[in-house]
Amino acid sequence: MQTYRGRFAPSPTGPLHPGSLLAALGSWLFARRAGGEWWLRIEDVDRIREVPGAAQDQLETLAAFGFVHDGPVVCQRERDALYAAALDRLLDAGHAFECHCSRSVIEAQGGIHRACIPGLRRPDPSIRLRVPDDCLVEFDDAIRGHQSQRIDRDVGDFVLRRSDGCWAYQLAVVVDDGAQGMTEVVRGADLLDSTPRQILLQQLLGLPTPAYAHLPLLVDAHGHKLSKSSSAHPIDRGNPLPALHEAWLQLGQVTFAASPQATSQEWLHDAIARFDPSRIPYSNMELS
Ligand code: GLU
């Protein structure tokens, strides 16, 4: 049997907030309950959204919350060569192409790219995946059950390298999950609709498909994901237990009495045996 290897992969766009803690705790519990490994990856391919110092701050917060990780912390910014090699393979096999279409041209087609408008030239083309017709991808999510998406119709040819030269999340995450031998991906449900694209890329690159579990999202009163909302207050590094307990309840778990003197590491240790994935709710939850 292959050892369970999971990960938490924050983007360094600011301090960790209750929504990121939910994904960290959920992915950690799944991994530790299976006796598996839990790795950290800093997803800093988007140089424009990155906030200087945020990655270090996130790592320090995770450590203060008692999360101990396996393996080295991997940073995507150091992995250009891996992404370039994967992109070259896709280009050489005819699965990817240079695209000169502008955003407005694609918006005029309902936001879904299926063919380039002939004759357009731009100095900074993007590179897209050529999604075949009738491209149905299906998978079973450990929390949300059977999922399927027609990628050609619902997404279209998607970007692998952006026109500003940054690697697209979809390419980087697939290359990294493959290169790092991830067997399980536990993350927020905002990425549920990216998973079929990632499975398609895995298939085209000859990589194994991990098992997936998408956790409920914490949203603000307007239904916006916390990281994109002004109500996303950072979690308090000086007082981890209340935030851990809150995230535990958001995962649908039953309260347990921790000793008042428990450290967060002791609390996490006690939580492993009590964690019941079948209690995790499907729907997004408003932050109270
Ligand atoms: N970096 C992504 C985020 O912070 C998570 C990616 C993933 O888990 O696949 O939303």
pLDDT per residue over 51-66, tens digit each? Answer: 999 999 999 999 999 9
Express each pLDDT in 1-57 by its tens digit: 679 999 999 999 999 999 999 999 999 999 999 999 999 999 999 999 999 999 999
- Please indicate, yes or no, if residue 197 is contained in any of the structural domains: no
Query: Which domain does 12 fall in, by range?
Result: 5-76+181-191+209-286
3-state helix, strand, coil in the chain (%, to 5): 40, 20, 45
Residues in the chain with pLDDT values less than 70: 1, 226-232, 286-288
| First vs last C-alpha separation in the chain | 41
How many angstroms is it from 9 CA to the middle of ligand 1? 5
Give the CB-side neighbour count of residue 105, counting CA atoms within 13 A: 14
pTM (two decimals): 0.95
Atom 6, ligand 1: residue with shortest CA distance: 9
170-208 burial: b if 16+ Cβ within 10 Å, else e: bbbbbbbbbeeebbbbbbbbbbbebbbbbbbbbebbebe
- 264: CATH: 3.40.50.620
Residue 121, helix vs strand vs coil: coil
Q: Which of 216, 267, 219 is CA-nearest to residue 243?
A: 267
Q: Is residue 199 part of a domain?
A: no
Instruction: Examine the residue annotation and report whether 225 is marked as an active-site residue of this protein.
Output: no
> Alpha-carbon distance 255 to 130, whole Å?
48
Query: Judging by DSSP bridges, how do beta strands 5-8 and 184-188 pair with one another?
Result: unpaired
Number of domains present in the structure of the chain: 1
In a domain? residue 106: no
Is the C-beta atom of 187 inside 6 A of ligand 1? yes
Ligand 1 pocket, 191 CB below 6 A? yes
pLDDT given at position 204: 98
What does the angle CA 82 – CA 32 – CA 211 come to, to the nearest 5 degrees? Answer: 50
pLDDT at residue 230, rounded to an integer:
59
Residue 187 lies in a domain: yes
Which residue, 43, 30, 24, is CA-closest to 177? 43
Q: What is the pLDDT of residue 288?
A: 59
Assigned domain for 118 exists: no
